[in-house]
Structure 1
Amino acid sequence: MLLRLPTSVSEAQECLAEGAVPVGGATLVWAAWQRDGFPARAMSLRELPEANVIGREALGAAVVLARLDDRVPDVLRRAAASVGTGAVRRTATVGGNLVGSTLRCLLPPALVLGARARVLCPDGVRETGLADAAAERAVLLGVHWREPVAAAYRKFPGVDGGPPPLVVASALHDGERGPRLRVAVRTGYDVLGEEVHGGAGAEDTLGLLRATSLGGLPPVAWEAVREQVVGLLDRPEAR
């Protein structure tokens, strides 16, 4: 297998045109390659500057999960810290987790941040919604967002051999017409995300959420949503 390490977007496009398979830390595909055979060409973005950004409002796809610290919002840092073992986090990348994994542990916090994706295409770079990028398994360069007023995150204990554990994330944002609240829930392999007006008080806001896809959540998930919504809207900065 020939592994290419492009240092510019144009070079990365050339690799795609040559049929190189994008890889991050290869934590998800290594076993399959050993079983089914390795691709002739692969491409890693670990040397590409645009894919290595770490900041309060942007994160590169090639950044390994172990590097997510207090430079990024706490909701993202906590999600990354809950993924696998230390060895996995030192290898697995943001891009691989968001678009290459069925678990998508970082997707709920990224959705509540309102993150947008920058993806690499054969004819250039385009911006798209993060959910669309994940569904398409696009070649992710990075994500960016506006820092929220406040955010919350909770991951429930998992069961060995069972489905992915329940994850609930939420964030409160300033909006032109008042506060906006985003909530995302991973239940099984599905991730649901909704946004509602957050300036009408906790009970009214929960009523708005009940009318969305989150209204059908199981009781334990809905109770976690309730706790986060009440906690976020009760903060002084939310008033």
Structure 2
Amino acid sequence: MLLRLPTSISEAQECLAEGAVPVGGASLVWATWQRDGFPELAVSLREVPEANVIGGGTLGAAVVLHRIDDTVPEVLRRAAATVGTGAVRRTATVGGNIVGSTLRCLLPAALVLDARATVLEPDRVHVTDLAEVVAKRPLMLGIHWQKPLISGYRKMPAEAGGPPPFVVAVAVHADDDGRRLLRVAVRDGYEVLSESAPCDAGRGRTLDALERTDIAALPAQAREAVRHQVTDVLNRLSDG
């Protein structure tokens, strides 16, 4: 296998045009390649500056998870900190986790930030939503978002070797008129669900509004985890 390491967006697009297979930190795909065979040509964005940005409402796809610091919102930082082991976080990348992983540990956090993705194709660079990224698995350059007022994240305990742990991510945003919107995303098994509710009328009404969404269809223990995390975030927002 020949691994190409372009140093610019245009060079990366040339690699795609030549049929190169995108890889992140290869922490997820290596075992698959060993089993099914290696591609003739692969491409990594780890030398492309735009794919290594951290902060300013942007996170590059080539950033390895252990580099994510307090320049990004709490929800995304905590999500990255709970992925695998320290060794995994030193090799796994943002793009590999969101695009290439079946667990997509960062996806709930990115959804509550209302993040958008910048995607590379051989003939263009464009911005799209995360639903398209998950469905089509393109070569992602990075994600960007508007800074939330506050955010939070919780991963429930789970048995080793069992189903993926339940995850809940929460963030509160304000629009141009100052109205506040709560966004919630959960990972239940391998499925990710996101909902939103206005949160200017108090915590009780916000929780009631969430119960009128698909969140209400979750198992009782999962709904309680959502209520706990939403309550914690709204309390911290009030205290702030």
TM-score between both structures, scaled by the size of structure 2:
0.95
Q: Aligned-pair distance for 1:236?
A: 4.9
Matched, 1:133 2:133: yes
Deviations 1:38-85 (A, max 9, x none): 110000000001100000411000000010111211211111111111
CA RMSD of aligned residues (A): 1.4
Partner of 2:207: 206
Q: Partner letter of residue 81 of structure 1?
A: A
Partners of 2:132 and 2:215 lie apart in 1 by 19
Contact map agreement 1:46 1:52 (CA 8 A) in 2: yes
Partner of 2:121: 121
Deviations 1:148-181 (A, max 9, x none): 1111110011212211100001001112351010
Sort the Cα spacing of 1:112 and 1:238 in 2 relative to 1 into closer, same or farther, 3 A.
farther
Partner of 2:187: 186
TM-score between both structures, scaled by the size of structure 1:
0.96
Question: In the TM superposition, what are the counterparts of 1:74-89 in structure 2 within 5 Å?
Answer: 74-89=74-89
Aligned residues: 239
Q: Partner letter of residue 137 of structure 2?
A: R
**Which deviates the most, 43-52 or 205-214?**
205-214
Contact map agreement 2:150 2:237 (CA 8 A) in 1: no
**Which deviates the most, 224-233 or 142-151?**
224-233
Contact map agreement 2:46 2:62 (CA 8 A) in 1: yes
Partners of 1:128 and 1:236 lie apart in 2 by 30
Q: Aligned-pair distance for 1:237?
A: 5.0
Sort the Cα spacing of 1:123 and 1:57 in 2 relative to 1 into closer, same or farther, 3 A.
same
Gaps of 5+ in 1: none
